[in-house]
Amino acid sequence: MARKKSRKKAAALDNNFRPAHTETMLQLSGNNSQIEISLAAVPLPAPLKTLVDLEKGDAAILDHIELPAEDARRLMELGFLPGSRITAGFSAPGGDPRVFQVDGSEIALRRVTARHLKVRLENSGKAPKKP
């Protein structure tokens, strides 16, 4: 019985130190007489979301813009540059448009535009939601 508990505890501890997103890679190497097999957990980047997916107060890093060049250029002139930190602010009644803080400015974007800005979530420090 004690052995089962210690295995479960060890497995739980092991899971706490694994990256949230991993992929297992298999590497084979060797010559005619030996083959060495090693498995490694490789961290994967967090999945992309859009600005529409953010809740008020969420922070994210802009990955890229999926709009025609002229529209993307205009957004970049406003501060929406890849790598910039964006924080979701308040929205008008009905949720459109929504205010985003970027580069020290507050800029309102409509949903139709915001859904084309792909971001990676940043740890906002908010308490996780309970299921």
> Given pLDDT bands bounded at 50, 70 and 90, which one contains residue 131?
very low
The domain segmentation of the chain, as residue ranges, is 2-43, 49-121
* 36 pLDDT higher than 90: no
Contact between residue 98 and residue 30 where contact means Cβ atoms under 8 Å apart:
no
Closest to 100 measured CA to CA, from 45, 62, 69, 47: 62
Q: What is the pLDDT of residue 34?
A: 56
Beta bridge partners of 120: 61
Q: What is the pLDDT of residue 32?
A: 58
Residue 50 vs residue 28, higher pLDDT: 50
Residue 106 to residue 88: CA distance in whole angstroms: 10
Residue 8 vs residue 123, higher pLDDT: 123
Contact between residue 45 and residue 120 where contact means Cβ atoms under 8 Å apart:
yes
Residue 86 vs residue 40, higher pLDDT: 86
Architecture of 49-121 per CATH? Roll (2.30)
Closest to 100 measured CA to CA, from 63, 67, 54: 54
The pLDDT of 53-69, averaged and rounded, is 93
Alpha helices by DSSP H, the chain:
2-16, 69-77, 111-114
* 50 pLDDT higher than 70: yes
